[in-house]
């Protein structure tokens, strides 16, 4: 059965380009188009598509208002936001993801219509396939509740019991790698962390430039700990979360007196990602062995697995988000299958597990 998609955009040329890009993808059918949010809701009710591509800036009703109306109506259709690569576009996109949008892509800028078409095909295909996979998993879990899942909230490799000393070569470091579904996941995990966390937290969220700035600002407004976009050369301090800037790689390096220095580079993408989870995790394993507690959360692909393997070799603790609570069970799944995860827990237990691991290291 084909995935039926409603294309919503106020610009006729983009509706045509997006429709053509979708029509060229296997297993995809363009169910219809709409030029504004009000028409989108009407056609959503009549056409019953599986998925929408939704522009942010539109007359009548904008993309945020459409998402809010869909939530009020209990719509189960997925949404891929089409965002402008601007600070304002980033802020609105973060809000859209919080409201339940599955993912986003940025609108092409410059170039010919043919170039736009090729880029949109490349961007849309993996997102649609991930949505289809999530829908399949949700269907399975509806028939087999997650409480029956043997991996739920159980260690794969016995974690150190509370009260037992964990050998750590220095002050602890927290690491998080996340991709699709990340803004919502981080919005649940980070506000649950105590203000006196006692360790710095470094986060790689797969996002383009400007969007990570908006995400950091949004998280800062909701968290007890400080949250900021990382800066090149800054010295990391406890009780602060550092978010890798979109479009740059972030690594950790030792300072002259042993402090953690944040370095941002323009090194090539890894796993087609910049920032890359592997890039960050590898630097922590190399320069600060046995000090990290690392969590891999929802996301497509396998970024983070190799870095987790290096962290495990140095005696670090590793955590993965479980399948039932993931938007996309890709990155956690690959790490679990590679045997580099200590404990698998649902999203609402990630913060507790990070704090527990910190406490065990101090015992």
What is the C-alpha to C-alpha distance for residues 306 and 60, in angstroms, rounded to an integer? 48
Catalytic residue among 55, 303, 322, 342: 303
Catalytic residue among 83, 206, 283, 290: 206
169 labelled catalytic: no
Q: At what angle do helices 182-189 and 87-98 cross, to 10 degrees?
A: 70
Q: Match 């597990």 to its residue by tokens.
A: 353
Neighbours of 288 (CB within 10 A): 23
What is the C-alpha to C-alpha distance for residues 146 and 32, in angstroms, rounded to an integer? 35
What is the C-alpha to C-alpha distance for residues 222 and 357, in angstroms, rounded to an integer? 23
287 labelled catalytic: no
Of the candidates 351, 46, 27, the residue with the CA atom closest to the CA atom of residue 201: 351
Of the candidates 305, 248, 310, the residue with the CA atom closest to the CA atom of residue 273: 248
221 labelled catalytic: no
Catalytic residue among 35, 179, 283, 292: 179
Neighbours of 294 (CB within 10 A): 31
Render the burial of 39-66: b for 16+ CB within 10 Å, e for the rest: bbbebbeeeebbbbbbbbbbeebbbbeb
What is the C-alpha to C-alpha distance for residues 336 and 342, in angstroms, rounded to an integer? 9
Question: Residue 146 carries which DSSP code?
Answer: G
Catalytic center residues: 179, 206, 303
């Amino acid at each position: 059965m084909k995935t039926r998609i409603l294309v919503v955009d106020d610009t006729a040329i983009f509706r045509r380009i997006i429709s053509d890009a979708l029509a060229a993808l296997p297993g995809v059918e363009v169910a219809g188009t709409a030029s504004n949010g009000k028409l989108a809701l009407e056609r959503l009710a009549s056409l019953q598509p599986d998925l929408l591509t939704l522009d942010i800036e539109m007359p009548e009703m904008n993309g945020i208002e459409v998402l809010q109306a869909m939530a009020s109506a209990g719509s189960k259709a997925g949404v891929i936001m089409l965002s402008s690569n601007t600070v304002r576009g980033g802020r609105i996109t973060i809000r859209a993801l919080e409201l339940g949008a599955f993912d986003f892509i940025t609108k092409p800028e410059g170039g010919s219509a043919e170039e736009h078409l090729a880029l949109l095909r490349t961007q849309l295909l993996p997102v649609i396939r991930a949505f289809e996979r999530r829908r399949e998993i949700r269907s399975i879990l509806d028939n087999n509740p997650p409480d029956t899942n043997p991996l739920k909230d159980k260690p794969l490799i016995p974690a150190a019991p509370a009260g037992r000393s964990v050998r750590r070569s220095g002050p602890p470091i927290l690491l998080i790698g996340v991709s699709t579904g990340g803004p919502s996941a981080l919005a649940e995990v980070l506000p649950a962390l105590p203000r006196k966390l006692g360790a710095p937290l470094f986060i790689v969220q797969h996002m383009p430039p400007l969007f990570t700035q908006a995400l950091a600002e949004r998280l800062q407004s909701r968290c007890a700990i400080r949250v900021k976009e990382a800066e090149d050369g800054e010295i990391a301090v406890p009780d602060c979360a550092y978010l890798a800037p979109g479009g740059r790689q972030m690594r950790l390096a030792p300072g002259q007196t042993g402090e953690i220095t944040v370095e941002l580079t323009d090194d090539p993408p890894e796993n087609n990602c910049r920032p890359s989870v592997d890039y960050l995790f590898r630097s922590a394993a190399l320069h600060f062995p046995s000090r990290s507690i690392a969590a891999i959360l929802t996301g497509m692909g396998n970024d983070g697995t190799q870095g987790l393997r290096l962290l495990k070799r140095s005696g670090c603790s590793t955590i993965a988000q479980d399948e039932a609570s993931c938007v996309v069970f890709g990155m956690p799944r690959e790490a679990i299958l590679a045997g580099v995860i200590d404990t698998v827990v649902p999203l609402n237990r990630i913060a507790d597990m990070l704090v527990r691991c910190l406490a065990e290291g101090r015992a």
